[in-house]
Amino acid sequence: MSVLLGAEERRAPLEEGYVVLPGAVPRARVEHALRAINASLGEEGIPRDDLPRMRAQTFCPELVRAPLLLELYGGTPLASLAQAAIGRPRAPTVAQIALRFPSADAATAEPRPHIDGIPQPLNGVDPGAIYHFTAVAAVFLSDVDGPYQGNFTVWPGTHRALAAHFAAHGTDVLLAGFPPIALPPPRQLAVRAGDVLLAHYLLAHAAAPNRGPHIRYAVFFRLLHQTHDPSSTDTMVDLWREWEGLVSDG
């Protein structure tokens, strides 16, 4: 399936920072990935002491380079969506398996915005470094049909606000924490298994607490444009340099 960007598909990432493509991943492929993840959880288990690190990095680390996980990107319309928006994305070579388990505490705190790649305890990013990229892509493997079910949560438009803040103050301010920008109300996304998301790297996001009865399953990919330079933060103030499909005249 080839994805063409119509007016709405262009407007959403430009203005809000993300776009969702419903039902892009076939049910059989979703179930194949779920089976592998659940088999890993059943066979390997999750040592309690490893939970914080796995939340910050990935669950089921032995699967992150498995073809059946990488094909959630390369073998589905998500790759076509990324190509249509970014123009020349590199194919990801690693997946992040992101699970959100139900919380025993119904009064769990509200989600707090962040962007990825900032050094935090346990997330594997070197102190003083900013691991920036072009876009985050997600494949949702379970239905999330109401709020506070581990929803991927976004603050629409914050990609533009953050770029303006970095242009004025530099990107190193991130190393002191999330910048004090004005935030719109958060939006907890309701999705179905098989839906995919493509979001700008600078879009503030978080996972809502899971007060429901089921685990939220998702697989994330960090996407890089072919010309992305990890040694420069220029793209953090030049929003659309690596989004050729959105800014082209075609």
Q: Tens digits of per-residue pLDDT, 129-141?
A: 999 999 999 999 9
Instruction: List, as one string, the DSSP characters of 31-74.
Output: HHHHHHHHHHHHHH---GGGHHHHHHS-SSGGGTT-HHHHHHHH
- C-alpha 161 chain-centroid distance: 19
Q: Is the pLDDT of residue 83 over 70?
A: yes
**Average pLDDT score over the chain:** 93
φ, ψ (nearest 5 deg) of residue 188: -85, 115
Q: What share of the chain in percent tops pLDDT 90?
A: 82
pLDDT at residue number 250: 43
Mapped onto helix, strand or coil, the DSSP state of residue 234 is helix
Measured distance CA(6)–CA(12) in Å, rounded: 10
Average pLDDT over residues 5-15: 85
Average pLDDT over residues 161-170: 98
* 96: β partners: 220
Identify residue 200 by its one-letter amino acid code. Answer: H
CA angle 78, 84, 88 (to 5 degrees): 95
Q: Is the pLDDT of residue 175 over 70?
A: yes
Average pLDDT over residues 15-36: 97
pLDDT at residue number 109: 81
pLDDT at residue number 249: 47
Average pLDDT over residues 37-49: 91
Average pLDDT over residues 61-90: 96
- C-alpha 121 chain-centroid distance: 19
Measured distance CA(205)–CA(184) in Å, rounded: 12
Q: Which fold has domain 7-236?
A: Jelly Rolls (2.60.120)
Give 164's Cβ-side CA count (13 Å radius).
8
Average pLDDT over residues 99-113: 85
Measured distance CA(19)–CA(9) in Å, rounded: 7
The residue ranges of every structural domain in the chain are 7-236
Higher pLDDT, 208 or 250: 208
